[in-house]
């Protein structure tokens, strides 16, 4: 019987790992649809960002209470993985509490810490479910979350609650069997939380308690494998991608817009033709972004790293005043377009024109509503920049499609003719001094 369980466990573990690797490979391919961009500079500052923003969740602590609860869940994910490692080794080697002898008295201390953390994770998940579904904070009920995105958040929280419940019940039944001196369940010392509840099993037969312990063991580890393979389809992929996203964040001033040297040179050569290099021909390039291929791989990593928390949209002045723009939706739409292109490539072996682009997902009205104030960039807890995507798409609209509001066209005309946004001749600019 033991060997059958080992073989079954190893088969499930290998299948879960291979499926996860396959899905991560697809995500990597989708991210690399974007053009190359170099982020190899200032490595010390990048490591500092990774530690403070991803590990330390620095930007989350603008709202301390929520940050602490989120930290419980985050710490649970990171630290309880030590316990998961033991379960995986137990399952593969046919052992039980493999680390108990090696760690001695420290083992009980570790399990106590894990159980306290599990209780905190349970409490935080329940509170977050209440915030989303009963209190209904504005950023969690907006229409850009309708359908799967809203369900996804609830599924994850419920899954976390179930996994922690399985873990605590597993330890409780295990401790009850230890107290009976049952075969293979040797005494590891009393567990702080589960040890308190272990007497509840005293009136049950050892066979029944063993059945509960084994059932919870399997549900816990299979649930973790299932959760692992759910991540690539969920916004909670940020659990993994927040780290590279924090490392590769842009280090310059957030308010600085990225210019195109070729455009600057074009203007320069128009004003000073004598500077045009002999025999030079202007390169054939596109301006801005019409589709994900025109964005940087860093922008596409942003889209996959989006937590859909809505802090960007809640801070957006355009959204607050009733405009259609939602920075969160910009990231979600970019990710959806990447996924669609990825399926196209998977089906055809290469991308076949489907007659769509990013404007099939993001409307011109949304793009024009942006004030470029950077509020969304400042608020994002994982250093995402919806603004970069918005500006690149607007650049394509104006420079490729000549699509701009009449007010913008008037300003462009003034800049071209008067070298300023105002409709005054350059010769008349100083006449106000004569008044």
pLDDT in tens, 403-431: 888 888 888 888 878 878 888 777 777 77
pLDDT of residue 1: 63
User: Do residues 39 and 248 lie in contact, with contact meaning Cβ atoms separated by under 8 Å?
Assistant: yes
pLDDT of residue 279: 65
Tell me the average pLDDT across 270-299. 79
pLDDT of residue 97: 81
Q: Enumerate the H helices of 255-363 as residue ranges.
A: 261-271, 297-305, 311-315, 317-320, 327-348
Do the domain assignments include residue 38?
no
Same domain, 230 and 270: no
Nearest to 86 by CA among 270, 224, 268, 275: 224
Instruction: Establish how many alpha carbons lie within 13 A of residue 171's alpha carbon, considering only the half-sphere containing its beta carbon.
Output: 25
Do the domain assignments include residue 52?
no
3-state secondary structure of 204: coil
- Please state the pTM of the whole predicted model: 0.84
Same domain, 205 and 290: no
Do the domain assignments include residue 53?
no
Do the domain assignments include residue 434?
no
Same domain, 187 and 103: yes
Same domain, 14 and 161: yes
Do the domain assignments include residue 118?
yes
Do the domain assignments include residue 306?
yes
Tell me the average pLDDT across 266-273. 75
CA distance 396 to 411: 18
pLDDT of residue 180: 82
Judging by beta carbons within 10 Å of its beta carbon (0-12, 13-18, 19+), is residue 256 exposed, middle or buried?
exposed
User: Do residues 331 and 304 lie in contact, with contact meaning Cβ atoms separated by under 8 Å?
Assistant: no
Do the domain assignments include residue 183?
yes
Do the domain assignments include residue 55?
no
201-258 per-position pLDDT tens digit: 888 888 899 899 889 999 999 998 999 899 999 988 988 898 999 999 888 777 777 7
Most confident of the ranges 75-84, 98-107, 151-160, 424-433: 151-160
The confidence band for 435, taking pLDDT boundaries of 50, 70 and 90, is low
Q: Which domain holds residue 387?
A: 261-274+284-424
Same domain, 218 and 303: no
pLDDT of residue 387: 94
């Amino acid at each position: 019987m033991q060997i059958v369980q080992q073989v079954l466990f190893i088969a499930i573990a290998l299948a879960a790992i291979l499926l996860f690797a396959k899905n991560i490979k697809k995500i990597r391919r989708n991210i690399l649809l974007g053009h190359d961009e170099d982020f190899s500079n200032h490595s010390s500052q990048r490591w500092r960002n990774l530690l403070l923003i991803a590990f330390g969740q620095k930007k989350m602590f603008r709202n301390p209470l929520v940050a602490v609860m989120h930290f419980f869940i985050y710490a649970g994910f990171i630290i309880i993985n030590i316990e998961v490692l033991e379960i995986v080794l137990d399952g593969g080697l046919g052992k039980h509490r493999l680390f108990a002898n090696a760690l001695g008295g420290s083992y009980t201390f570790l399990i106590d810490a894990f159980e306290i953390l599990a209780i905190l994770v349970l409490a935080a998940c329940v509170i977050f479910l209440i915030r989303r579904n009963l209190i209904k904070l504005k950023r969690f009920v907006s229409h850009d979350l309708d359908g799967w995105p809203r369900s996804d958040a609830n599924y994850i929280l419920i899954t976390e609650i179930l996994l922690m419940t399985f873990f605590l019940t597993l330890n409780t039944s295990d401790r009850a069997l230890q107290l009976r001196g049952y075969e293979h369940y040797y005494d590891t010392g009393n567990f702080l939380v589960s040890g308190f509840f272990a007497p509840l099993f005293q009136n049950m037969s050892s066979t029944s308690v063993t059945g509960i312990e084994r059932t919870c063991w399997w549900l816990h580890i299979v649930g973790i494998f299932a959760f692992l393979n759910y991540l690539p389809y969920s916004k909670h992929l940020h659990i993994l991608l927040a780290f590279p996203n924090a490392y590769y964040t842009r280090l310059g001033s957030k308010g600085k817009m990225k210019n195109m040297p070729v455009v600057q040179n074009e203007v320069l050569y128009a004003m000073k033709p004598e500077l045009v290099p002999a025999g030079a021909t202007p390169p054939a390039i596109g301006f801005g972004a019409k589709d994900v291929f025109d964005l940087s791989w860093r922008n596409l990593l942003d889209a996959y790293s989006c937590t859909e928390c809505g802090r960007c949209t809640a801070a957006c002045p355009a959204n607050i005043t009733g405009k259609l723009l939602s920075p969160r939706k910009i990231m979600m739409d970019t990710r959806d377009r990447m996924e669609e292109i990825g399926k196209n490539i998977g089906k055809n072996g290469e991308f076949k024109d489907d007659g769509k682009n990013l404007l099939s997902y993001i409307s011109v009205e949304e793009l024009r509503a942006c004030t470029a104030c950077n509020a969304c960039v400042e608020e994002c807890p994982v250093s995402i920049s919806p603004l970069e995507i918005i500006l690149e798409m607007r650049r394509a609209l104006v420079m490729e499609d000549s699509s701009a509001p009449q007010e913008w066209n008037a300003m462009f005309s003034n800049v071209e003719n008067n070298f300023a946004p105002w409709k005054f001749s350059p010769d008349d600019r100083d006449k106000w001094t004569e008044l």
